Amino acid sequence: MVKDQLLIKKRREQMIKAAVTLFIQKGFHRTTTREIAKESGFSIGTLYEYIGSKEDILYLVCDSIYDQVSENLKKRLKQDVEGIDSLRYAIAALFRVIDDLQDEVLVMYQESKSLPKEALRYVLQKEFEMTELIQEVIQECVTKGHLELTDQEIYQSAHNILVQAHMWTFRRWAIQNKYTLDEYTEIQTNLFLNGLLKK
């Protein structure tokens, strides 16, 4: 309903921030649109000028998180690093981005199942695109002879790295009391690369 693109962007950012806070506290289903509007700092009527349903807000949250993760990861990958060090750097970059957006990533994975099918397909496609960024780094290591992996192993390795990054968020109640992010990154990277380099 609103035409002003800058205002739309501002309002969406407010809704996303408010929704993440509330979804962490109460979950998607127990959070009302009225609560999201209040947390956002505007009325329920104003909220519905920008969205059609609560599911629209969840979609905006998921879409925004993937964009932030991908954008930040791409920035961090633009470094002059070669060989296995490029893979080490990519893993560290991914882990740091996930650390920066822990709450958002947690909400996305806990609540994305509540999205309508079409929106969920779109969100999952974004997940594949993010994994492909890591896959490309591994492929480069293989192409240059630093690793010997099949296409299937490259694909699986990229997904393994992503899961390890997410574990920093999913199991933070256990892991973050025991390790700093740098320690966790180093241990996970060494375990992962040792398995590949011993082939």
Residue with tokens 């519905």: 48
- 109 in the same domain as 135: yes
What is the per-residue burial (b if ≥16 Cβ within 10 Å, else e) of 154-171? bbebbeebbebbbbbbee
- 67 in the same domain as 23: no
- 25 in the same domain as 102: no
Write out the residue range of the structural domain in which residue 162 sits: 55-196
- 103 in the same domain as 180: yes
188 exposed, middle or buried (CB, 10 Å; 0-12, 13-18, 19+)? buried
- 134 in the same domain as 154: yes
pLDDT value for 182: 96
pLDDT value for 198: 59
Final residue of a structural domain among 33, 52, 71: 52
pLDDT value for 150: 94
- 156 in the same domain as 74: yes
State the alpha helices, DSSP H only, in the chain. 5-26, 33-40, 44-47, 54-77, 84-100, 102-111, 117-143, 151-170, 172-175, 181-197
- 155 in the same domain as 75: yes
Q: Please answer whether residues 92 and 193 qualify as being in contact, where contact means their C-beta atoms are separated by less than 8 angstroms.
A: no
CATH number at residue 178: 1.10.357.10
- 45 in the same domain as 106: no
Residue with tokens 């950012």: 13
Final residue of a structural domain among 30, 52, 74: 52
What is the reported pTM?
0.82
- 67 in the same domain as 48: no
- 78 in the same domain as 28: no
The CA-atom distances, in angstroms, between 114 and each of 9, 46, 164 are: 24, 24, 24
pLDDT value for 78: 67
Walk along the chain (199 residues) and give the pLDDT tens digit of each residue: 667 788 888 888 899 999 989 998 898 889 999 999 999 999 999 899 888 888 888 888 888 888 888 887 787 776 677 788 889 988 998 999 899 888 888 888 888 888 888 888 888 888 888 899 899 999 999 999 999 999 999 999 999 999 999 999 999 999 999 999 999 999 999 999 987 775 5
- 166 in the same domain as 101: yes
CATH number at residue 28: 1.10.10.60
pLDDT value for 124: 85
pLDDT value for 70: 81
- 47 in the same domain as 60: no
pLDDT value for 153: 94
Residue with tokens 């099918």: 117
pLDDT value for 8: 84
Tally of structural domains, the chain: 2
In degrees rounded to 5, what are phi and psi of residue 31? -95, 135
